[in-house]
Amino acid sequence: MSRISRISLAAACVAALAICVVAAQESSDSPKSSSANAATKSSPADTKFMKEAAEGGMAEVALGKLAVEKASNSEVKKFGQRMVDDHTKANNELKQLASQKNVTLPQDLSAKDKAMKAKLENLSGEQFDQSYMKGMVKDHKKDVSDFRRESTSAKDPDVKKFASQTLPTLEEHLKQAESIAKPAGKAASAH
């Protein structure tokens, strides 16, 4: 075998070896990178849930602060403060989860929530109390339904866990809102 043939054969072997090494690295990296992406990506339904939960949570905090300021009934004020406290905590947990999943959450109230806030800002006394509590009952019925569904049907186990862990608090909020709303409604209709 001539010297040129041996050099060509050696070069071909080195090239083939390099191709094998690169191919082996790519195949060993692929499952890791795709599983890493799977861990950070959420299904469209889970992403939608997180965004809606963030909007709802922001609204509960904003309206709760308004209730602390404007409510005439001490139970409504206490409920408003609980909304601020509980939903701030849940919102922070959700922000952390969304960050891990590369989901961008809304930063402002929805148009519906802005309208509700504007309406409540123009009310006072029993009218405020009644309207706020009626809204809280309605919102929490929807929240409980959404979180219950997500706690069983979420594709992402972390989103499912968040929904499952938050659901009992929302159920308590709904019960409390219903019990406060009844007396507030009776007092307002008695006038």
Judgement on whether residues 142 and 54 belong to the same structural domain of the protein? yes
Supply the mean pLDDT for the chain.
84
* 29, 52: one domain: no
Mention every residue, 6+ apart, whose C-beta is less than 8 A from residue 24: none
CB atoms within 10 A of CB 14: 10
State the CB neighbour count (10 A cutoff) for residue 10. 10
Q: Are residues 58 and 27 in the same domain?
A: no
**Residue (of 61, 118, 63, 109) closest to 85 by Cα position:** 61
Whether residues 164 and 96 share a domain: the answer is yes
State the CATH number of the domain containing residue 87. 1.20.1260.10
pLDDT for residue 95 is more than 60: yes
Position 184 confidence tier, pLDDT thresholds 50, 70, 90: low
Looking at the fold, whether 23 and 52 belong to one and the same domain comes out as no
pTM here is 0.75
Could you tell me the pLDDT band of residue 34, with boundaries at 50, 70 and 90?
very low
| 161 and 134 inside one domain | yes
Domain that holds residue 152: 43-190
Six-digit token pair at 2? 């001539």
Element (H, E) at 2: none
Q: Same domain for 134 and 63?
A: yes
Domain count, the chain: 2
Q: Per-residue confidence at 142, pLDDT binned at 50, 70, 90? A: very high
Residue-wise pLDDT tens digits, 114-126:
999 999 999 999 9
Residues 21 and 65 in one domain: no
Closest C-alpha among 122, 119, 174 to residue 146: 174
